[in-house]
Amino acid sequence: MIKRTLAIIGLLAVFGLGFWAASLFFRQQAEKEIRSQSTVLLEKVSKVRKLVTVEGHFSELYDEANIRNFTVYMPFPSTWRFSKQAILHVTGKVLVGYDMEKISITVDSLQRRIIIGNLPEPRILSIDHEVEYKNLEESFFNSFTPEDYTRINKNAKAVLRKKAQESRLIDEARKEGNQMLDVMRFMIESAGWEMVVENGGIEAPVDSLLRN
């Protein structure tokens, strides 16, 4: 009888311990799920009138180092150098084209002309980049901060922008834009109309742009 009672008590204890462990586990899982939740808010919606004519893909190895000097004057002047260095692999896609926000189109039905004004120059419209940290080295008195990571990310994007500006992307975008302009002229002239480009209040034939 005593053995049966002890067995029942043991089973109840094991059951209670298992129930407590399970409840603790699920509570921790619930806490982890709550902590991983995030809220995304739509702050602004803007109309976009941009024409992308070319895109370029870039890959760059970016190296940034920072050295901080500490000087102690007692008992005699001594200087220690604490450095930190970040090596990153930066990849990105650069979109180049035209911002059509200020372009104007006027239809002259009497003279059967279509006048296009304020044609923009091609420029970099957007840069979509990714940063992969290859190596991070820091010192006790010179460690990386959240501000450092933000600045490094901005510098990496600036490197891609500079590489894109030094490449032939702008020239290629201009060639593609001129081809599209030539197609528009062909369609307009096929309908018996004339296409005219206005720049600074002065009308010019489309051929003058296509030769650029």
Q: Is residue 32 part of a domain?
A: no
Q: Tell me the residue range of the domain where 143 lies.
A: 50-210
Q: Is residue 120 part of a domain?
A: yes
Q: What is the pLDDT of residues 131-176, one digit of tens each?
A: 888 888 877 777 778 888 888 889 889 989 999 999 999 999 999 9
C-beta separation of 136 from 142 below 8 A? no
* pLDDT of amino acid 164: 92
* pLDDT of amino acid 95: 93
Number of domains forming the structure of the chain = 1
Query: pTM for this one?
Result: 0.68
Q: Is residue 160 part of a domain?
A: yes
* pLDDT of amino acid 144: 79
Q: Is residue 28 part of a domain?
A: no
Q: In angstroms, what is the C-alpha Rg of the chain? A: 33
Which residues, in sequence order, are CB contacts of 153 under 8 Å at separation 6+? 131
Q: Is residue 184 part of a domain?
A: yes
Structure-token pair, residue 143: 């460690």
Q: Is residue 3 part of a domain?
A: no
Q: Is residue 18 part of a domain?
A: no
| Residues of the chain where predicted confidence (pLDDT) is lower than 50 | 3-17, 19, 21, 24-26, 28-36
